[in-house]
Amino acid sequence: MSAESAFIESLRRLAMDPAARRLRDDAAVLEVGGTRLVLTHDMLVEGVHFLPGDPAQDVAWKLVAVNLSDLAAKGARPVGVLLGFPLGDEAWDRAFLEGFGAALSAFAVALLGGDTVAGPRVLGLTAIGEAQGPAPSRSGAGAGDRLWVSGSIGDAGAGLRVLKGELRNAPALVESYRRPRPRLELGEALAPLVTAMMDVSDGLLIDAARMAEASGAAVRIDLEAVPLSEAYLAALGDGREARLAAATAGDDYELLFAAPPGRTQELLALADRLGIPLTPVGAFAPGSGLTLADRGAPLPLPPRLGWEHG
Amino acid sequence: MSAESAFIESLRRLAMDPAARRLRDDAAVLEVGGTRLVLTHDMLVEGVHFLPGDPAQDVAWKLVAVNLSDLAAKGARPVGVLLGFPLGDEAWDRAFLEGFGAALSAFAVALLGGDTVAGPRVLGLTAIGEAQGPAPSRSGAGAGDRLWVSGSIGDAGAGLRVLKGELRNAPALVESYRRPRPRLELGEALAPLVTAMMDVSDGLLIDAARMAEASGAAVRIDLEAVPLSEAYLAALGDGREARLAAATAGDDYELLFAAPPGRTQELLALADRLGIPLTPVGAFAPGSGLTLADRGAPLPLPPRLGWEHG
């Protein structure tokens, strides 16, 4: 076991409260006085999650978006955030606040408090949400359920490749990378219909494998079904390599969820009503592990399923 | 205006929700579905708030204690915490977890979630509490109220001087510095009796000045009334310099509160019941600013009232 796994195992032993969901979920779900609170804390570290040269406005947006995406996956409406911010370069900090304000305003979330310190750029955000419904976990998928994903997959990863100069400029892809939009309204609507839900942050394949593991089931992904955007297809085509790249890229912040086949019509009607594609991309079966298929034929898993660190 | 003040002013403009209390309080107070939640997020940065050589167990304890102290000042009972932790050196991280577990267990708080990342040692903790009563702010003190403080003042500051080799060893003082104990039970009991409350983290004088400023009142502190422990008196004596050092040292994590003179008997009875000294150390008056007196004679303010950064 790596040092990191050992640390997280030890943390789990400290997290015995049911609200912690054994730290295996994207957020804590806490019942307080008739209210179901959803709480999440995500950090972004300069040099790890973003580069010193990245626009500070986009770093701020992303800090808000990744946390709200965890709330979306629990069907929770955001109530507010607390910011942990190390003060440093004045211009950078000012640009950060500009993006931070824009994100709070875009998602109608209140800044409630936090802390400012002197120190290296390790940004922390705590988001608090309120779920009206059941707050789905990662672990409820059952054999026979279909696996679904919202929107399109791979755009943010392709956007990062544009920024690295590996692909020709495509503003829609760069926008997906820089300004992810958490699926808040969709998450709330999906929560009562699904058996398990999480957001796709590290890559479709690795996140689906995590849902299957948490649920004690096997999952198959049909590569040909993975929804790709027009911008993605224009930049990378529809070959198997392009599809595998999309399914392992991460940073999508789409919702990944499991639902019994009987929910299909309801889900498609919801997609129609909200104008957000919802696509079945696979299915759960008894057993364990992830398998991949392309037009019905089994496909070996790629060496890398996504990002190992969230 | 310094860059930091300008940044915080801009943050305040983003924090228009009443729950944020304009970021002028130690914690956010949020009403959710009939429940009064208190939320706080404090960070500790290596090289700023602690030194690389400090025992990791104590750093962990302090991270928990400083956050819970903010809950105590709002009369809130802790519900849980979220930890933001950068993984680094394996032995340090393991020692940290040991102290973290000890603190959670000492204060009966649940670890609910958080994030682990790779990065420099900037530790963040979010604490969530529930207040049954009114959740006092810093800003409610009125002219005529007495200023009170719990426990004794200056022990932690003297403990730090022991660790720096400036004072002879005194285990009780070092313990106060390394293992502060937030006044949770006391805070809950005080909340309905006080007009304003906060914890003493940066120094009695500077924190009292902040309470007065937030309340739109003047405050006088009677130096001879500041409660000193036996260990403090044994180490530093009872001279004016020793008293000024105690009143500006910080890290006390005692409760500082305002109450009308009519509450005096009730407060002394509470002190008796809980076995925690509660001492009147001054009074609020119309006007603004902090003044200092020693046995009735005015005393000039020392050049430094406490820590400027929380």
Quick count: other Cβ atoms within 10 Å of Cβ B210? Answer: 22
pLDDT 10s digits, B211-262: 999 999 999 999 999 999 999 999 999 999 999 999 999 999 999 999 999 9
Percent of chain B with pLDDT over 70: 99
Place A310 in a pLDDT band, splitting at 50, 70 and 90: very low
Summarize the confidence of residues A298-307 as an average pLDDT: 95
Among A2, A4, A11, A45, most B C-beta atoms within 10 A, so best to mutate, is A11
Give the strands of the sheet with B196-200, arranged side by side. B196-200, B254-259, B146-150, B278-285, B218-222, B289-294, B297-299
CB A104 within 8 A of CB A83: no
Q: Mean pLDDT over all residues of chain A?
A: 95
pLDDT value at residue B16: 87
**Homologous superfamily (CATH) for A3-131:** PurM-like, N-terminal domain (3.30.1330.10)
Place B309 in a pLDDT band, splitting at 50, 70 and 90: low
Q: Which of residues 100-159 of A touch B (CB under 8 A)?
A: 100-101, 104, 110-120, 122, 124, 126, 128, 130
Instruction: Dig out the tokens for B58 from the structure.
Output: 């104590």
Which residues of chain B does A11 touch, with a Cβ-Cβ cutoff of 8 Å?
83, 97, 111, 116
pLDDT value at residue B24: 85
Q: With CB atoms and an 8 Å threshold, state whether B122 touches A119.
A: yes
Assess whether pLDDT exceeds 60 at residue A199.
Answer: yes
Q: With CB atoms and an 8 Å threshold, state whether A32 touches B28.
A: no
Chain B nearest-CA residue for A8: B116
Q: With CB atoms and an 8 Å threshold, state whether B35 touches A40.
A: no
pLDDT value at residue B206: 97
pLDDT value at residue A76: 97
| Nearest-by-Cβ selection for A41 from B19, B46, B84 | B84
pLDDT value at residue B26: 84
Quick count: other Cβ atoms within 10 Å of Cβ B166? Answer: 9
pLDDT value at residue A45: 96
pLDDT value at residue B220: 98
pLDDT value at residue A1: 63
- Give the pTM: 0.94
pLDDT value at residue B23: 86
Place B310 in a pLDDT band, splitting at 50, 70 and 90: very low
SS3 for A181?
coil
Select the highest-mean-pLDDT range: A18-22, A31-35, B205-209.
Answer: B205-209
Q: Is the dihedral of CA B16, B17, B20, B21 positive or negative?
A: positive
Q: Mean pLDDT over all residues of chain B?
A: 95
Task: State the smallest CA–CA distance between residue B34 and chain A in angstroms.
Answer: 7
Q: Which residues contact B36 (CB under 8 A, 6 or more apart)?
A: B29, B30, B76, B130, B131, B132, B135
Lowest mean pLDDT among A302-306, B16-20, B251-255: B16-20
Lowest mean pLDDT among A34-43, A265-274, A292-301, B6-15: B6-15
Assess whether pLDDT exceeds 70 at residue A69.
Answer: yes
What H or E segment, with its residue span, contains residue B184?
helix B184-190
Nearest to B223 by CA among B246, B200, B189, B251: B246
Q: Which residues contact B120 (CB under 8 A, 6 or more apart)?
A: A45, A119, A120, A122, B46, B86, B88
Q: Is B10 on the interface with A (CB under 8 A)?
A: yes
Summarize the confidence of residues A193-198 as an average pLDDT: 98
Q: Is the dihedral of CA A282, A287, A290, A296 positive or negative?
A: negative
Domain boundaries, chain A: 3-131, 146-299
Lowest mean pLDDT among A23-32, A295-304, B36-45, B235-244: A23-32
Summarize the confidence of residues B187-212 as an average pLDDT: 97
| Predicted ipTM beyond 0.90 | yes
> What is the rounded radius of gyration, in angstroms, for the C-alpha atoms of chain A?
19
Summarize the confidence of residues A277-293 as an average pLDDT: 98
Summarize the confidence of residues A148-152 as an average pLDDT: 98
Which residues of chain A does B76 touch, with a Cβ-Cβ cutoff of 8 Å?
none
Task: State the smallest CA–CA distance between residue B245 and chain A in angstroms.
Answer: 24
pLDDT 10s digits, B125-140: 999 999 999 999 999 9
Assess whether pLDDT exceeds 90 at residue A186.
Answer: yes
- Quote the CA–CA distance of B38 and B43 in Å, as a whole number: 17
**Homologous superfamily (CATH) for A146-299:** PurM-like C-terminal domain (3.90.650.10)
C-beta contacts of B103-107 below 8 A and 24+ residues apart:
B103/B60, B103/B61, B103/B63, B103/B64, B103/B65, B104/A14, B104/B64, B106/B181, B107/B64, B107/B65, B107/B68, B107/B78, B107/B182, B107/B184
Chain B nearest-CA residue for A309: B117
